[in-house]
């Protein structure tokens, strides 16, 4: 009964999504207030029914209803309750449901917080959001319905993929999707602006907080995914340039470019058509990412063949969305061109470089990700593009970006006034270089270019980021949340850079064969293997190894890596043991029994790796701070738009 | 120099820059592109000796052999028509096993043994690398 209720609620949600888009868009076009006023209640109703459908699916999981095919495939009666909830989005169908739920939450937030915006504008925004929702609901109902029954019902479920039975990966999809789907709001604002034929500074001010919040969630989501891959996949890497990771990283790069370009549009009314284009790109890449990851298109091109309906629908939907938006852009953007000029060395010019470099990085990653698909599609051979390509094409635009960031933070709008800052900036750079050199020599005793350049850039950005709020406070200029947020986020970029440089330059990875009683030394630490014993978990059995980690005779930590076998899927899984520290992580993973009582063991020393995720946390915090700025708070505005906002002029 | 000429030069400069950048990108792409061969192609001598590539197939049952207490492992990859011996030193992925699909990255030595520096398995036990599925001519992998 419950699954049918959910199915029915989903159909009703589709009807309301249709009403939302038709009445919103047509009402704004014909300027009929009574039509436009349908949009908001439709959003609310759609949210209620989507939430109901999602609740029904969750209830089926919690109640172990194995007559539902999707539940039977992804859950098990022995699965802990927390993971039964997380299993809802453990596979394709459920993650689509999650996508739709997140979209309806964003929609209702837009509907509720937009009372101050002009009626026709918000009707168009909600209309476009309704169109996206319609597309996703149709896709789910037509090709990926999670409520399908299984006849006869299964006795027990197939269990959730053990790799997904983990806290970080349980919360990773909702947070990542909140980011992905959040770009739908920026996309809808862009489409509405083009339909309205009006794009001014007020528009940018409305769009900015939404985009920044979406970007913040995406940042956290990607960081969680990276953290999970590090400790759960058992390999100790933090980024693999895997197509699935790239799929989430490309929208992040486009989104990062977008929030910077929006700043220029808001402050100087420039880059207007470019901002629109970026809003379209960011969401298009999110769409591409969602589909590529869960539908398995990228992992296996041949999944298209296994369910042609799904593949064709995805292609059609992507074409409609991206093609429609780009057509609208081609038609309307020429009217929105901007004319004011700026000097080289002004803040606008720095943000222009920022945008160019970020977009170049995103395009090159897109090229590498899709290249194997094209090659295979054209029957030119089966290839894969290795991480060295991605490392090269990412590093080349990123190094100038980091260098420009250190200077660009202090630039001013319109005119280049960097001459007076030359001394402090150069001093900061020299200080960063000296500090980096000292750290590299004392802590690691070995100079590599990567470490030196990375640490210098990271420290310089940190100095630069701290300088802005400190000098503002010293000169009693006041510190708006948006400025503080910018500093925090860029501080995070510095921290992140230090982490990457440290771990990539000085990591040590070693595969060894050990018998109980033997030990191995890595980076001054002594890993002594004590032996293995059996342990039993709720839905798995495990062999647990014991390693005493000592440094100069003092015990650092006892590490207990596990080799688990999940009972239902009989899938072996390595559970690495990690001791976390401010300067390094130590990582032990148990491999296979090598005959006798010897085991293969992977031991790793990962200096500064925590700073990678810490940096991401600071970036997200910075985003949150900036989005909370007072000027974004909803104020009642009447018909005329505050096109020229003098008070916001001097803040970035 | 007339403004028109100046503009022409700027455009040409930008074009040249873009061209060089595109050339470098595609060179990097081609250098880091890893080709995939199945055992039949390797046995037939189609696979290169001078550059690394990926090989995929099933691990032949009963072929996994290890020197006791050492990290070195030997196994045979087959597509049920031809077989290629593979050596690897290190910790194997969780899902490696006899009778299961595998993809290995490495070089082909002169004596026809594939020296792998990386052995891959994916997130899911049902997962079979698409290339393997194709070369085995088996049913396509289930995507549910």
Which ipTM did the prediction report?
A: 0.79
Q: Which residue has the tokens 């100046």?
A: B6
Rounded to 5 degrees, φ, ψ at A215 are -60, -40
| Contact of B55 with B62, CB cutoff 8 Å | no
Residue B90: which of A368, A511, A570 has the nearest Cβ? A511
B134 touches chain A (CB under 8 A): yes
Assign 3-class secondary structure to A143-204. Answer: HCCCCCECCCCCCCCCCCCHHHCCHHHHHHHHHHHHHHHHHHHHHHHHHHHHHHCCCCHHHH
A 570-589 → B contacts, CB under 8 A: 570-574, 589
A99/chain B closest Cα distance in angstroms: 18
Contacts of B33 in chain A (CB under 8 A): 371, 383-386, 389
B70 touches chain A (CB under 8 A): yes
Residue B28: which of A234, A393, A573 has the nearest Cβ? A393
pLDDT mean values, one per 10 residues, chain A (652 residues): 94 97 94 92 97 97 94 91 92 91 97 91 96 95 92 86 84 93 96 90 93 97 92 81 88 97 92 93 91 60 50 82 92 76 86 94 91 78 83 90 91 81 88 94 90 95 92 88 94 97 93 92 94 90 94 93 86 88 92 86 94 97 94 60 41 42
Handedness of CA A6, A11, A14, A16 (dihedral sign): negative
For residue A116, the model assigns a pLDDT of 87
Q: Distance between alpha carbon A213 and the CA centroid of its chain, in Å?
A: 12
For residue A338, the model assigns a pLDDT of 65
Retrieve residue A593's tokens: 């029994």
A557, A496, A550: which is closest to A523 by C-alpha?
A: A550
A301–B94 C-beta distance less than 8 A: no
Contacts of A395 in chain B (CB under 8 A): none
Q: Which residue of A has its CA nearest to B89?
A: A511
Q: Distance between alpha carbon A221 and the CA centroid of its chain, in Å?
A: 5
DSSP reduced 3-state for A416:
coil
Retrieve residue A343's tokens: 């000097």
| Contact of B135 with B57, CB cutoff 8 Å | yes
Average pLDDT of B78-92?
90
A91–B36 C-beta distance less than 8 A: no
Retrieve residue A95's tokens: 């993650």
A202, A22, A32, A215: which is closest to A128 by C-alpha?
A: A22
B31–A388 C-beta distance less than 8 A: yes
Half-sphere CA count of A642, side-chain side, radius 13 A: 18
| Contact of A463 with A428, CB cutoff 8 Å | yes
DSSP reduced 3-state for A556:
strand
For residue A59, the model assigns a pLDDT of 96
DSSP reduced 3-state for A581:
coil
Assign 3-class secondary structure to A335-356. Answer: HHCCCCCCCCCCHHHHHHHHHH
For residue B134, the model assigns a pLDDT of 57
CA distance A306 to A506: 45
Retrieve residue B5's tokens: 């000429």
Residue A591: which of B70, B91, B142 has the nearest Cβ? B91
A569 touches chain B (CB under 8 A): yes
B69–A299 C-beta distance less than 8 A: no
A 158-217 → B contacts, CB under 8 A: 161, 163
Region for residue B80 given its phi and psi (left: phi exceeds 0; alpha: psi -120 to 50; beta: otherwise)? left
For chain B, what is the mean pLDDT? 80
Residue count (chain B): 144
DSSP string for A31-46: T-HHHHHHHHHHHHHH
A609, A650, A409, A599: which is closest to A504 by C-alpha?
A: A609
Q: Which residue of B has its CA nearest to A388?
A: B32
Residue count (chain A): 652
Rounded to 5 degrees, φ, ψ at A635 are -125, 150
Residue A234: which of B94, B142, B143 has the nearest Cβ? B94
Candidates B92, B94, B118, B140, partner chain A, best to mutate (most A CBs within 10 A): B94
A368 touches chain B (CB under 8 A): yes
| Contact of A223 with A617, CB cutoff 8 Å | yes
A600–B92 C-beta distance less than 8 A: yes
Assign 3-class secondary structure to chain B. Answer: CCHHHHHHHHHHHHHHHHHHHHHHHHHHHHHCEEEEECHHHHHCCCCCCCCCEEEEEEECCCCCEECCCCCEEEEEEECCCCEEEEEEECCCCCCCCCCCEEEEEEEECCCCCEEEEEEECCCCCCCCCHHHHHHHCCCCCCCC
For residue A297, the model assigns a pLDDT of 58
Half-sphere CA count of A591, side-chain side, radius 13 A: 27
| Contact of A183 with A98, CB cutoff 8 Å | no
| Contact of B127 with B113, CB cutoff 8 Å | no
Contacts of A169 in chain B (CB under 8 A): none
- Whether the predicted pLDDT of B143 surpasses 50: no
Ordered strands of the A577-579 beta sheet: A508-514, A599-607, A584-593, A577-579
pTM: 0.91
Q: Distance between alpha carbon A70 and the CA centroid of its chain, in Å?
A: 26
Rounded to 10°, the helix A167-196/A272-295 angle is 140
B141 touches chain A (CB under 8 A): yes
DSSP reduced 3-state for A466:
helix
A156 touches chain B (CB under 8 A): no
DSSP reduced 3-state for A480:
coil
- Label residues A501-519 b or e (16+ Cβ within 10 Å = b): bbbbbbbeeebbbbeeeee
Retrieve residue A515's tokens: 């018998």
Q: Which residue has the tokens 């040590």?
A: A508
| Contact of A590 with A545, CB cutoff 8 Å | yes
């Amino acid at each position: 009964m419950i699954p049918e209720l959910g199915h029915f609620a989903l159909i009703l949600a589709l009807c309301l999504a249709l009403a939302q888009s038709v009445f919103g868009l047509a009402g704004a076009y014909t300027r009929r207030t009574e039509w436009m006023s349908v949009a908001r209640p439709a959003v609310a109703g759609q949210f209620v029914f989507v939430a109901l459908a999602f609740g029904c699916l969750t209830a089926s999981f919690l109640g172990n209803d194995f007559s539902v095919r999707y539940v039977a495939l992804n859950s098990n009666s022995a699965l802990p309750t927390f993971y039964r909830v997380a299993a809802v989005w453990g596979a394709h169908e459920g993650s689509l449901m999650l996508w739709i739920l997140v979209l309806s939450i964003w929609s209702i937030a837009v509907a509720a917080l937009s009372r101050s915006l002009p009626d026709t504008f918000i009707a168009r925004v909600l209309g476009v959001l309704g169109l996206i929702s319609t597309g996703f609901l149709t896709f789910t109902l037509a090709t990926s319905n999670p409520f399908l029954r299984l006849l006869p019902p299964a006795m027990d479920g197939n269990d959730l993929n053990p790799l997904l039975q983990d806290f970080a990966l349980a919360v990773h999809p909702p947070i990542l999707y909140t980011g992905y789907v959040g770009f739908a709001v920026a996309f809808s604002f862009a489409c509405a602006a083009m339909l309205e034929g009006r794009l001014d500074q007020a528009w940018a001010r409305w769009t900015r907080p939404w985009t920044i919040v979406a970007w913040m969630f995406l940042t956290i989501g990607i960081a969680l995914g990276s953290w999970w891959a590090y400790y759960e996949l058992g390999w100790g890497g933090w980024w693999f340039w895997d197509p699935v990771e790239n799929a989430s990283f490309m929208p992040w790069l486009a989104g990062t470019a977008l929030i910077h370009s929006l700043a220029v549009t808001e402050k100087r009314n420039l880059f207007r058509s470019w901002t629109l284009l970026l809003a379209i790109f960011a969401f298009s890449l999110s769409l591409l990412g969602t589909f590529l990851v869960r539908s398995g298109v990228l992992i296996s091109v041949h999944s298209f063949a296994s369910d042609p309906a799904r593949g064709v629908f995805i292609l059609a939907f992507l074409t409609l969305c991206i093609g429609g938006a780009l057509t609208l852009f081609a038609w309307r953007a020429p009217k929105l061109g901007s004319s004011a000029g700026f000097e080289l060395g002004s803040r606008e010019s720095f943000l222009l470089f920022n945008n160019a470099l970020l977009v170049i990085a995103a395009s090159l990653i897109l090229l590498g990700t899709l290249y194997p698909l094209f090659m295979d599609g054209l029957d030119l051979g089966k290839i894969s593009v290795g991480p060295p390509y991605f490392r090269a094409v990412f590093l080349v635009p990123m190094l100038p970006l980091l260098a420009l960031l250190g200077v660009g933070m202090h630039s001013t709008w319109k005119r280049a006034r960097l001459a007076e800052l030359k001394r402090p900036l150069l001093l900061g750079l020299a200080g960063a270089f000296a500090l980096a050199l000292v750290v590299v020599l004392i802590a690691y005793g070995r100079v590599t270019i990567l470490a030196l350049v990375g640490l210098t850039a990271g420290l310089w950005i940190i100095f630069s980021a701290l300088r802005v709020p400190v000098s503002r406070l010293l000169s009693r200029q006041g510190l708006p949340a948006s400025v503080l947020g910018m500093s925090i986020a860029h501080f995070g970029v510095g921290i992140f850079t230090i982490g990457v440089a440290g771990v990539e330059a000085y990591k040590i990875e070693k595969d060894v064969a050990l018998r109980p009683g033997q030990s191995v030394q890595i980076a001054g630490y002594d890993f002594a293997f004590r032996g293995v014993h059996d342990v039993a978990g709720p839905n798995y059995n495990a062999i647990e190894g014991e390693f005493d980690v000592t440094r100069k005779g003092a015990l650092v930590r006892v590490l207990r890596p596990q080799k688990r076998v999940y009972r239902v899927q009989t899938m072996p899984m390595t559970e690495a043991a990690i001791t976390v520290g401010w300067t390094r992580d130590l990582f032990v993973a148990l491999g296979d029994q090598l005959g006798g009582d010897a085991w293969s063991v992977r031991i790793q020393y990962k200096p500064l790796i925590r700073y990678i995720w810490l940096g991401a946390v600071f970036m997200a915090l910075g985003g949150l701070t900036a989005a909370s700025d007072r000027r974004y708070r909803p104020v009642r505005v009447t018909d005329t738009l505050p096109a020229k906002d003098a008070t916001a002029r001097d803040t970035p | 120099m007339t403004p028109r000429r100046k503009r022409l030069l700027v455009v040409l400069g930008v074009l040249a820059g873009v061209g060089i950048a595109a050339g470098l990108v595609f060179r990097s792409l081609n250098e880091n592109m890893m080709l995939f061969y199945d055992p039949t192609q390797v046995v037939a001598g189609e696979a290169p000796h001078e550059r690394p590539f990926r090989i995929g197939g099933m691990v032949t049952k009963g072929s996994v052999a290890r020197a006791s207490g050492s990290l070195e492992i030997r196994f045979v990859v087959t597509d049920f028509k031809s077989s290629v011996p593979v050596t690897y030193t290190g910790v194997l992925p969780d899902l490696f096993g006899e009778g299961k699909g595998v993809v290995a990255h490495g070089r082909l030595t002169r004596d026809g043994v594939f020296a792998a520096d990386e052995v891959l398995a994916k997130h899911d036990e049902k997962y079979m690398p698409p290339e393997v599925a194709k070369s085995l001519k088996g049913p396509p992998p289930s995507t549910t």
